[in-house]
Amino acid sequence: MDGRGDPPMSSRHSNLKKSFKLGIRSLLTAFSKEDVEKAFPTITNSERESLYLMFVQVLKSLHENIEEEFESICQETEVGKTLDIIEQLVEEHNLDVLAADKTDIGGITEKILKAKKDEIQDLTSLLQKVDDYNNVMKARIESLKTSQDLSTADIVEQLRSWNGNFEKYHGSLNG
């Protein structure tokens, strides 16, 4: 509860405020002494120090003003009530995935295992088809080699025959 007796903030409302404050803080403190030195190299160190301190005061004031304005807007638009209603509806309808994950881990595990087994079976089948294709190709290559060897032998025999005929013909012309 805050000091005014209001009901406690919902976690969503609290998270909104924390996120806003963190965002504002990081935006408003992103300027260092080194940045002042780089931005104003022509002024003296004491002037830069004074400028930096003044800058820090302005940032603090700006930070407070922004936070107050944010609070004012949240109250005017009843952000807290709206977030409370949203949180209540989410809880009633079990819509909050982060609050209670009731997913059936066993069911998911079964589905993943089945998918992996099916994938293994498909890959095994594909591997068998590739292996069968390789065997067919090896047999075809061997068949071609054998027929090529026979063809080569036939061609050599044919050449010898022609050579013999040529020698006979050539010898009869010379003789």
CA distances from 49 to 30, 39, 41, 55, 125 (A): 17, 13, 12, 10, 77
The total number of residues written for the chain in this structure: 175
CB-based contact 51:36 (threshold 8 Å): yes
> What average pLDDT score do residues 83-92 get?
84
Nearest to 70 by CA among 138, 24, 38: 24
The 10s digit of each residue's pLDDT in 14-62 is: 888 888 888 888 777 767 888 888 888 999 999 999 998 998 888 888 8
The more confident residue out of 131 and 28 is 131
Average of per-residue pLDDT across 55-80: 89
Please name the amino acid found at residue 85. I
Give me the chain's average pLDDT, please: 80
Predicted structure pTM score: 0.43
Please give the average per-residue pLDDT across 54-72, as a whole number. 89
pLDDT higher at 140 or 91: 140
% of the chain residues with pLDDT over 90: 11
121: pLDDT strictly greater than 90:
yes
